[in-house]
Amino acid sequence: AYQKFLRGEKHANVLPPGRSEHGVGLAVDITNGHIIGHEDPEHAWMRANGVAFGWYPISNESWHWEFRGIGA
């Protein structure tokens, strides 16, 4: 995605390498072959279990979860 951004092919919010929480393991995008939505079983599992493992959803991106630690 970042390479497409550099070439001007993608106009999304993409951070440069080293500036994203994805790069240091503090954020993940959950997929099942496509980006998951609120209706997908993967999202339901994360809603039910993610917090127990320290993962919290981002309200405007159903696929994006951030690690804040257990008991955060």
pTM of the model: 0.70
What pLDDT is recorded for position 67? Answer: 96
Please give the full DSSP string across 14-53, using - where no structure is assigned: -PPTTSSTTTTTSEEE-BSSSB--TTSHHHHHHHHHGGGG
* Domain edges within the chain: 22-72
In whole angstroms, what separates CA 70 from the centre of its chain?
18
| Residues 6-50: tens digit of each pLDDT | 677 766 566 777 788 888 889 998 888 888 888 999 999 999 999
**CA nearest neighbour of 64 among 19, 56, 72, 48:** 56
What pLDDT is recorded for position 8? Answer: 73
Other beta carbons less than 10 A from residue 36's beta carbon: 20
Q: Are 65 and 58 in contact (CB under 8 A)?
A: yes
